[in-house]
Amino acid sequence: MSARDTGGDRLLPVQHLRPGDHAFVSYGDDEVRWEAVTAFVRLGLARGEKVLVLPCPGVPEDEVLARLDFPGRSTVPARGRGQLVVSCMREVIRPDTEFTAARQMGRLYAETDRATAEGYAGLRAYIDMGWVRALGADVEVMACRETGAQALFTGRPYTELCAYDRRRFDRAVLAAMERAHPRSLLERLGSLRSLRAPDGALCFVGEADAAHRTAFGRSLELALAQTAPARRLTVDLTRLHFLSVGCAVGLLRLAMGAAGHDLVEVRCAAGQRRLLQRLGAGTVPRLALTEVVRAW
């Protein structure tokens, strides 16, 4: 578990994406690249959304489908009924041959309306930004599109995940693109990140499963030590998609042992609150559970 804090306030696990979200993810490995897109696609299909996949040009469609289909041929029915569409940016902007943001956004706007008219809960699109080089588009044009796409998302059932290959874009472009997106995703399934929020809260993002129990506990111990003078610690669990029993118990035990603190506040979702209560949160002095409803 790393503790980088770049873009920390926007960082989410892919499972937390909701209609209206516009997210950035980057990858630097031809195996890892499939983790976010596979989760994005499969959860979208399960939630009744129409899913459009624009993979990196040059990756054979057979490989794309095989990756999405990894337990057998499980997305075949969705492709058959048109719920899952694999296409390319060239097709999206057709009949134009040169990329313009207006053309692309107009088409995605219309496709969102079409998806809802067809009875789907909305549209989600995965766009590998490898199309930029393939179409000879200008990075500046792409940057304007990414920062000026609010009309696609505001109040509309559209979700977009833009994936950047770190081997194809330089660091400055990647950093600018990450800032241009309201959301940024963890690259891998099953990963956990700890961050310090501007208000000092210790935030966990991702999946606090058994593999991360030790690191989860160490982050808490460090935060308790750092907040000893103030005698107060806030722990934010709301960007965790998964909280294991082991990590939850670890949190409660450390809070119970934090005798020098006046308060350990845990911001959590309803399910996390119920889990912590079931595991004995009520017996921990100076522990306060604050249920937070996601505001976005």
Partner 1 sequence: MVSPDPAGVPAEESGRRLLQRRFTARLLPQVRLLVEECAAREGLGEPRRGEFVLAVDEIAGNAVEHAGGAGRLVLRRVGDELECRISDAGPGFSEEVIPELLPGLDGAPKGRGLWLARLVADRFTVAAGAPGPGGPGAVVTLAVRLR
> Two tokens at 97?
């041959």
Which lies closer to partner 1 via its Cβ, residue 33 or residue 145? 33
**Given the rule CB under 8 A, which of 95-103, 136-144, 145-153, 279-287 is the region that contacts partner 1?**
279-287
- Per CB under 8 A, does 119 bind partner 1? no
Q: How far is the CB of 93 from partner 1 (least distance, A)?
A: 31
- Per CB under 8 A, does 106 bind partner 1? no
- Per CB under 8 A, does 18 bind partner 1? no
Would you say 164 and 4 are in contact if contact means Cβ atoms under 8 Å apart?
no
CA 45 to chain centre: 16
Residue selected from 57, 182, 190, 217 as contacting partner 1 according to rule CB under 8 A: 190
Q: How far apart are CA 229 and CA 21, in angstroms?
A: 39
Which lies closer to partner 1 via its Cβ, residue 104 or residue 194? 194
The footprint of partner 1 on residues 62-91 (CB under 8 A) is 67, 70-72
Instruction: Give 125's DSSP letter.
Output: E
DSSP H or E stretch at residue 254: helix 245-257
Would you say 268 and 291 are in contact if contact means Cβ atoms under 8 Å apart?
yes
Residue selected from 1, 5, 10, 15 as contacting partner 1 according to rule CB under 8 A: 15
CA atoms within 13 A on the CB side of 117: 6
- Per CB under 8 A, does 189 bind partner 1? yes
Q: How far apart are CA 133 and CA 122, in angstroms?
A: 29
Give the contacts of 121 (CB within 8 A, at least 6 positions apart): 19, 47, 48, 49, 157
Query: 224-253 mask for partner 1 (x: CB under 8 A)?
Result: ------------------xxxxx--x--xx
Give the contacts of 290 (CB within 8 A, at least 6 positions apart): 265, 266, 267, 268
- Per CB under 8 A, does 217 bind partner 1? no
Instruction: Give 85's DSSP letter.
Output: E
- Per CB under 8 A, does 271 bind partner 1? yes
User: Rounded to 5 degrees, what angle do the CA atoms 213, 214, 218 make?
Assistant: 120
Residue selected from 105, 174, 279, 292 as contacting partner 1 according to rule CB under 8 A: 279
- Per CB under 8 A, does 109 bind partner 1? no
Residues that bind partner 1 (CB under 8 A): 15, 34, 38-39, 42-43, 45-47, 67, 70-72, 189-190, 207, 209-211, 242-246, 249, 252-253, 256, 270-271, 274-275, 278-280, 283-284
